[in-house]
Structure 1
Amino acid sequence: MRIALAGVGHWHASMQREAAHHAGATVAGVWDEDADIAARFALENGIQAYLSFEAVVAARPDLVVLMGRPAGLVERALALVDAGLPVLLEKPAALKASELEPLRDRGRHGAFIAVPLPNRCSPIWARMTELAASDRLGRLSHAQFRLVNGPPERYRIDGVPWLLAPQTSGGGALRNLGIHGIDAALALAGDSDLELVSASLGHLHGEAVEDYAVVTLRSHQGLIVTVEAGYTYASMAAGGDFEWRVSSANAYLVDRGDHCRITTLDDEVTREEPPFPPGERYRAFMADTLGRLSRGEAPLVGIEDYWRAMAMIDEAYGTAMA
């Protein structure tokens, strides 16, 4: 498949290029609002640079990975899907959930709009599906989704200081990193509604946006979920502090990236999964996206999933700032 990368000033651009290559796709061209950034990215990677966004549309790639600042991103996504092009829409794509409404409408009418929340590729999801299929999962009890990365200065180093200003990013660690955990909580709850119990924000580094957040959610069936996100890990190195943990009546599943362990009560067995570092999950998400696109299936994580998570974060900010 031919993929275009639009908005390569985004800090995930190189990761998406590598994911496309790993999935066997060809990056046909790149574009950015800043022509110098696009030219440099193209030169460094031996890829064509499109001279305009209209040229991206005219090239008719099989998939456009759309990245950039939230301002104007929804409008660009609309231009792509209205031209019949599938889109992988990087976050943050909007400052708040309501801005996504036009894309939700396109999604309801069949537009392919994937949103890369790659921790949906965690091994624990497949294991929970297998256990549930054999009636061995049991009632869900509680879960914790934690993603704490290095200090906010790393975004200035990456050339995206706008991410640290609420008026251009829509929020801090909760909007940027917590979206993964909120999405996981909503996916875990399934058809059961989740209600916000509490939300708290922290400001260790004195930025305009929060650098730490913890949110507690509860379903009508009694499932309790905590989501923790931060820019407070004491290292600039990739990795940080990551843990996806789910407890049910018969299973306890823990994913820490470098290892994943599933313990089941009925057979008193603990199984270890191969390491699957979070940074490599963009490869898996891209491969899954291309596979679903070729089969005419909906994305693993679509625009409706993204809207639900954004709406929950909007509510959490309202509660924390009240």
Structure 2
Amino acid sequence: MTPLSAPAAAAPVLSLPRIGFLGVGWIGRHRMEAMIGAGTVEVAAIADALPGNSAEAARLAPRAARLDSFDALLDQDLDGLVIATPSALHAQQSIRALERGIPVFCQKPLGRTLMEVQEVIGAARRADRLLGVDLSYRGTAGMRAIRDRVVAGELGDVHAVDLVFHNAYGPDKPWFYDPLLSGGGCMMDLGVHLIDLALWTLGFPEVEGISADLFSKGRRLSDRAAQVEDHGLATIRLAGGRLIRIACSWHLHAGQDVVIAAEFHGDRAGAAFRNVGGSFYDFTADLFRGTTRETLTTSGDAWGGYMAAAWADRLARSAGFDPDCERLACVAAVLDGIYAAAPDG
């Protein structure tokens, strides 16, 4: 009788990074669910100022500790922290975590100003800890496909980029409309995504100049200390004469829930990323050559948690500083430039 083979040695069980979640409203819970679904983290602890949010998050991670403060969260044995709190808190909360040696994945914006963003990046560099920001539209299949074509040179010289993000509703939380807490209105909330997509796709080119106009309730924004913009327009001039044009708004009469598009115009081809039927979630991407169209991606990809899952995967391999996060300062510098360039009144 043929002897039985010895059982194969069991693969070693690797412990997953223990992640804390600060702020578990809809966005925080969605990112938590994405990380859990990717199987790359253990949700170790949850903290939120609203008990109802913590209770909802606990349904996703019933074994996680439910805590009542950021300080209590920092005292946990964590390998990483996800921050999804109001914008005014992002920079200081990120810095405090990094100074404790805890890698951070933060909702956008990382800071309300370039100075705040640079301070966070500096803290990550000094601590040699991973820092990521949820610039989530990079995770869409459509934008990744367009960027691949631009990098490969299929569009040739991209001389103009047009991007829009018009939201027919606007935020439902009061802090978004408080300049001190938000740092700005629709440009800070929506425009940051457009700026990032343009710079990221083009390889973060040198910015030579910025012009902008900001409006509140149909009138030019006159007092940034008291108002935030609900409509913003900006032109970003790049080295070599290339242009990026951005338009974004809250509460626009758009005829649908939202209008999102990013169009790249090159001397060999063009490409467009657009939402479908007013959806916040469904997008297509196409490549154009003259009157012909090539479909790059269709709607339906589950992109919302892509950046969170990618950060968690990177963390599982290395918690050390990622120099790519330095690029976050480029986006913040353009935002600062837009606010500085917009005339008053």
Q: TM-score range by the shorter chain?
A: 0.7 to 0.9
2: CA distance, partners of 1:150 / 1:27: 35
Equivalences for residues 26-37 of structure 1 within 5 A: 26-32=42-48, 34=49, 36-37=51-52
The percent of aligned pairs where both chains have the same amino acid is: 22
Of 112, 118, 128, 1:95 maps to 112
Of 211, 233, 236, 2:230 maps to 211
Gap change, CA 1:22 and 1:300, over 3 Å in 2: farther
Residues 288 and 300, structure 1, Cα contact 8 Å, conserved in 2: no
Equivalent residue number for residue 19 of structure 2: 3
Residue 316 of structure 1: CA displacement? 0.9
Gap change, CA 1:191 and 1:72, over 3 Å in 2: closer
Of 169-178 and 135-144, deviating more is 135-144
Residue 145 of structure 1: CA displacement? 1.9
Deviation readout 1:98-143 (Å, 9 max, x if unpaired): 1233212133343211000011123344434544565433111211
1: CA distance, partners of 2:150 / 2:213: 33
Residue 250 of structure 1: CA displacement? 2.1
Residues 197 and 216, structure 1, Cα contact 8 Å, conserved in 2: yes
Of 261, 267, 285, 2:285 maps to 261
| Correspondence 1:286 to 2:318 | no
2: CA distance, partners of 1:270 / 1:72: 43
Gap change, CA 1:235 and 1:252, over 3 Å in 2: closer
TM-score computed with the length of structure 1 as normaliser: 0.83
Q: Tell me, what secondary structure is at the counterpart of 1:282? A: coil
Equivalent residue number for residue 185 of structure 1: 198
Q: Which amino acid aligns with 2:111?
A: A
Residues 147 and 201, structure 2, Cα contact 8 Å, conserved in 1: no
Of 102-111 and 310-319, deviating more is 102-111
Q: Which amino acid aligns with 1:15?
A: H
2: CA distance, partners of 1:265 / 1:38: 48
Q: Tell me, what secondary structure is at the counterpart of 1:210? A: coil
TM-score computed with the length of structure 2 as normaliser: 0.78
Q: How many residues align?
A: 312
Q: Which amino acid aligns with 1:21?
A: I
Equivalent residue number for residue 23 of structure 1: 38
Task: Output the aligned Cα RMSD.
Answer: 3.2
Determine which structure has more spread, i.e. the larger CA radius of gyration. Answer: 2
Equivalent residue number for residue 92 of structure 2: 75
Gap change, CA 1:197 and 1:55, over 3 Å in 2: closer
Q: Tell me, what secondary structure is at the counterpart of 1:281? A: coil
Residues 274 and 284, structure 2, Cα contact 8 Å, conserved in 1: yes
Gaps of 5+ in 1: none
Gap change, CA 1:163 and 1:299, over 3 Å in 2: farther
